[in-house]
């Protein structure tokens, strides 16, 4: 893979959130979101660019004064920190999905902080209320919410919401999804790429202009397929969806390779197309209702997605940081599924934004030490 391709995709994953506040003109064309349960196609159809808040070990002193501990994941603390330090003053809008209680509470907190004058320079703060239910009432509700968000974003972008703009955005995004799937396929069988490298390549889908993403992802796939497969133990990361590579790096430092992760930024983000048959608002709402991996995704759907990822996994690492209020309840079911497949697992309690704790590292070592090695494969 050419270094420039790697760097551009990696930068498209890592940098956009941290660049906010440096270029007012660029910020004015940007919509900041907290989790990819907000359809990026709606943002792009409005002529705006999506950026996602991401977890990081950077301190958040201003946010810590207004957010209770052990409730809000680091990505939301970083978002509120940016809001309180005027980094978001020029952003077109902040959109939070109803993908978890902390995301919803963050929406309410930002509104309240603005009302109280504590966050004086906030752009419009919007909610995208997506219900994870497939009954007709919920489908209609979600489609209406997609129309409503589209109208609001189009208003910010200074253009009327047009279904044709959305159809074009969907077509472009589906092409980018196909390129991402090509990349992800290189992790099945003997993986050609480490998880820590793969996650940014896949995660860039959400923030990079789709045509550019397609070109870079396809070029990367063409190069990666030539690589010698990584003959390492194959690990799947589950539990609370990760939004960074720290956990992957910790696992891979112990001689394994992360071949999949239950996260929209990785394996779970681009597995299905939207399509444009019929009402594009209904189609996009149905897609995100079905595919968004978040704390409110029904447990049966989540278990199917995990089952699909397990493939030839030899071990599973389950992330369960202290702010989790949801995924930990799946543990009995996950344990049962893994037992049926004879796949060992471990549970990590550290915050992935800060990397593995000493206890987590010990758990990873114990897991991988106890994991029988797969017979070596050499292809390509």
- Greatest Cα-to-Cα distance within the chain, rounded to the nearest angstrom: 62
Distance CA 46, CA 156 (A): 8
Query: Least distance in Å: CB of 321 to other proteins?
Result: 9
Tokens 């974003």 -> residue: 153
In the stretch 104-143, what mask flags binding to other proteins with x, by CB under 8 A?
xx-xxx-xx--x----------xx-x-x-x-x-xx--x--
Strand partners, 96: 127
In the stretch 69-88, what mask flags binding to other proteins with x, by CB under 8 A?
-xx-----------------
Q: Which of 123, 210 has the CB closer to other proteins?
A: 123
Provide the token pair at 49: 């660019």
178: contact with other proteins by CB under 8 A = no
Query: Least distance in Å: CB of 1 to other proteins?
Result: 38
Secondary structure letter of residue 275 according to DSSP: -
Query: Least distance in Å: CB of 22 to other proteins?
Result: 30
165: contact with other proteins by CB under 8 A = no
State the number of binding residues for other proteins (CB under 8 A).
47
Tokens 């702010």 -> residue: 323
For residue 76, which of 351, 365, 378, 358 has the smallest C-alpha distance?
351
Distance CA 8, CA 207 (A): 12
To the nearest 10°, report the CA torsion of 37, 40, 41, 46: 130
Among 28, 139, 189, 331, binds other proteins (CB under 8 A): 331
Distance CA 58, CA 308 (A): 34
Q: Which of 179, 295 has the CB closer to other proteins?
A: 295
Distance CA 340, CA 336 (A): 6
335: contact with other proteins by CB under 8 A = yes
For other proteins, the binding residues (CB under 8 A) are: 66-68, 70-71, 98, 100-102, 104-105, 107-109, 111-112, 115, 126-127, 129, 131, 133, 135, 137-138, 141, 144-145, 295-296, 298-300, 320, 322-326, 328-332, 335, 347, 349
């Amino acid at each position: 893979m050419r270094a420039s391709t790697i760097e551009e995709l990696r930068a498209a994953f890592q940098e956009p959130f941290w660049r906010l506040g440096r270029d007012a003109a660029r910020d004015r064309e940007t919509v900041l979101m907290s989790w990819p349960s907000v359809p990026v196609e709606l943002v792009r159809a409005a002529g705006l660019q999506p950026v996602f808040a991401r977890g990081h070990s950077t301190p958040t002193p201003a946010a810590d004064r207004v957010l209770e501990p052990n409730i809000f994941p680091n990505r939301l603390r970083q978002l509120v920190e940016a809001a309180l330090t005027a980094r978001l003053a020029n952003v077109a809008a902040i959109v939070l999905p109803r993908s978890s209680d902390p995301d919803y509470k963050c929406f309410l907190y930002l509104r309240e902080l603005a009302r109280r004058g504590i966050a004086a320079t906030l752009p419009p703060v919007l909610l995208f209320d997506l219900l994870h239910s497939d009954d007709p009432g919920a489908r209609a509700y979600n489609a209406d919410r997609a129309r409503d968000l589209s109208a609001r974003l189009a208003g910010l972008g200074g253009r009327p919401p047009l279904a044709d703009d959305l159809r074009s955005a969907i077509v472009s995004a589906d092409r980018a999804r196909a390129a991402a799937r090509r990349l992800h396929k290189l992790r099945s069988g003997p993986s050609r790429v480490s998880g820590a490298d793969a996650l940014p390549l896949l995660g860039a889908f959400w923030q990079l202009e789709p045509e550019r993403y397609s070109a870079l992802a396809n070029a990367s796939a063409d190069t990666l397929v030539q690589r010698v497969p990584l003959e390492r133990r194959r690990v799947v990361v589950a539990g609370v969806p990760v939004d960074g590579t720290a956990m992957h790096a910790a696992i891979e430092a112990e001689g394994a390779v992360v071949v999949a992760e239950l996260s929209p930024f990785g394996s779970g983000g681009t597995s299905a197309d939207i399509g444009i048959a019929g009402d594009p608002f209904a189609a996009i709402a149905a897609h995100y209702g079905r595919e968004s991996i978040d704390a409110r995704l029904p447990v049966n759907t989540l278990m199917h997605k995990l089952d699909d990822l397990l493939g030839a996994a030899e071990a599973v690492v389950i992330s369960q940081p202290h702010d989790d209020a949801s995924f930990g309840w799946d543990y009995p079911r996950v344990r049962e599924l893994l037992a049926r497949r004879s796949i060992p697992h471990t549970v990590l309690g550290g915050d992935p934004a800060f990397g593995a704790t000493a206890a987590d590292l010990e758990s990873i070592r114990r897991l991988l030490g106890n994991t029988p090695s797969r017979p070596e494969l050499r292809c390509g």
